[in-house]
């Protein structure tokens, strides 16, 4: 009974949060507030896309920027070339997912740190290649600038966040998610009980790349001016990774909580300390990670259930066997 009450309370809280976020553009005309909310949704969506592979499958992907950048670049180029926003975003998302399918196969044959290094290498190759091939800034033309509005872009970011969060929630409830959890905990044991580890990891890799591409496409609509290579900046990998660890790796709500905290703290420190804020921010991040190794969501769970020790991921569904 208590479990059902907890699930009901979580569902009600999520519905209330979604409603508040949906009504935000109507509640305020402050563009600074709306811009900050847009960034929270964007970073949370990108962090959740990393979480689909890194948190639920235990595969540390350091090449997320590659898929984010591809989504941004393809979407923006098609849109500025005259294609509709919907078709442009769909193409950018598909390009990121297709690249994930091509890259994921060989990279997932690598284990541990070699997988992380391999994905980082892919992202860096794309960043350098794009920087050399497209060195000029991409600016929005006058016809688009005259009708530029932040609210539609905010709703797009919110929609991407809702979709990737729904995918994360599904992983905590589905048979496929149970297989991913088994692979994360012990790949050898997972194989022994009938879980096809590579297929599970490969599907999660493509899913992660797809949503990273959608987040990148949203960013492509948002930026007034954009150097193509900046969309492949390693920060688009490492900032979401920090956000996931702050909020709680392998949890559904962790990326949203972590993104709000991350952006609020970064903004506050940058306004007060200037360039020095990076050093202070890094030190504070280390303090938070050491004090709360399971992130904010684990700390909240510990408060609800005193006596529970150690970090834990979202409750896994019943073990899954088979692909």
Cα gap 103→27, rounded to integer Å: 43
pLDDT value at residue 1? 47
d(CA 162, CA 17): 11
pLDDT in tens, the chain (323 residues): 444 555 555 556 666 777 778 888 888 888 889 999 999 999 999 999 999 999 999 999 999 999 999 999 999 999 999 999 999 999 999 999 999 999 999 999 998 899 999 999 999 999 999 999 998 999 999 989 999 999 999 999 999 999 999 999 999 999 999 999 999 999 989 999 989 999 999 999 999 999 999 999 999 999 999 999 999 999 999 999 999 998 999 999 999 999 999 898 888 877 777 666 677 777 777 877 787 777 777 777 777 665 554 444 444 444 444 44
Taking residue 111's Cβ as centre, other Cβ atoms within 10 Å add up to 9
Nearest to residue 71, comparing CAs of 222, 190, 187, 189? 222
Show the tokens assigned to 25.
Answer: 């553009």
pLDDT for the residue numbered 272:
74
pLDDT at 9: 55
- DSSP designation for 276: G
The token duo for 124 is 């860096």
Q: Is 139 helix (H, G, I), strand (E, B) or coil?
A: strand
Per the listing, tokens 């609800």 go with 304
Q: Residue 152: its pLDDT value, please?
A: 95
Taking the C-alpha atoms of residue 138 and residue 278, their distance in angstroms, rounded to an integer, is 28
Residue 7, token pair as written in the block: 């699930």
Say what the pLDDT of residue 311 is.
44
At the top level of CATH, which class does the domain 36-304 belong to?
Answer: mainly alpha
Burial label for 300, CB within 10 Å (0-12, 13-18, 19+), is middle
The full set of domain ranges for the chain reads 36-304
Q: What is the model's pLDDT at position 317? A: 43
| CB-based contact 36:188 (threshold 8 Å) | no
């Amino acid at each position: 009974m208590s479990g059902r009450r907890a699930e009901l309370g979580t569902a009600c809280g999520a519905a209330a949060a979604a409603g508040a976020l949906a009504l935000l553009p109507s509640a305020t005309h402050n563009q600074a507030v709306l811009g900050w909310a847009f960034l929270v949704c964007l970073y949370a969506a990108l962090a959740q896309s990393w979480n689909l592979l890194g948190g639920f499958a235990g595969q540390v992907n350091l090449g997320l920027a590659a898929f984010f950048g591809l989504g941004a670049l393809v979407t923006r180029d098609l849109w500025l070339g005259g294609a509709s926003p919907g078709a442009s975003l769909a193409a950018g998302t598909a390009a990121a997912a297709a690249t994930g399918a091509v890259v994921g196969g060989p990279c997932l044959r690598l284990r541990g740190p070699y997988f992380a290094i391999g994905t980082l290498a892919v992202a860096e190759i794309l960043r350098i290649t794009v920087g050399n091939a497209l060195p000029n800034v991409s600016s929005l033309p006058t016809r688009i600038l005259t009708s530029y509005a932040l609210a539609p872009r905010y709703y797009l970011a919110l929609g991407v966040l809702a979709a990737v969060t729904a995918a994360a929630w599904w992983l905590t409830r589905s048979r496929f998610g149970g297989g991913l959890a088994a692979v994360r905990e012990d790949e050898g044991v997972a194989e022994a009980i009938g879980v096809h580890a590579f297929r599970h990891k490969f599907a999660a890799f493509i899913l992660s790349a797809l949503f990273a591409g959608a987040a990148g496409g949203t960013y492509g609509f948002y930026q007034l001016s954009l150097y193509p290579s900046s969309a492949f900046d390693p920060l688009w990998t490492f900032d979401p990774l920090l956000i996931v660890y702050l909020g709680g790796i392998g949890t559904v709500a962790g990326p949203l909580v972590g993104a709000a905290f991350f952006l609020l703290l970064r903004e506050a420190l940058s306004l007060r300390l200037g360039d020095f804020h990076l050093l202070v921010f890094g030190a504070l991040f280390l303090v938070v990670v050491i004090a709360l190794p399971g992130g904010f969501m684990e700390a909240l769970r510990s408060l609800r259930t005193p006596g529970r020790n150690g970090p834990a991921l979202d409750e896994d569904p019943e073990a899954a066997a088979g692909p």
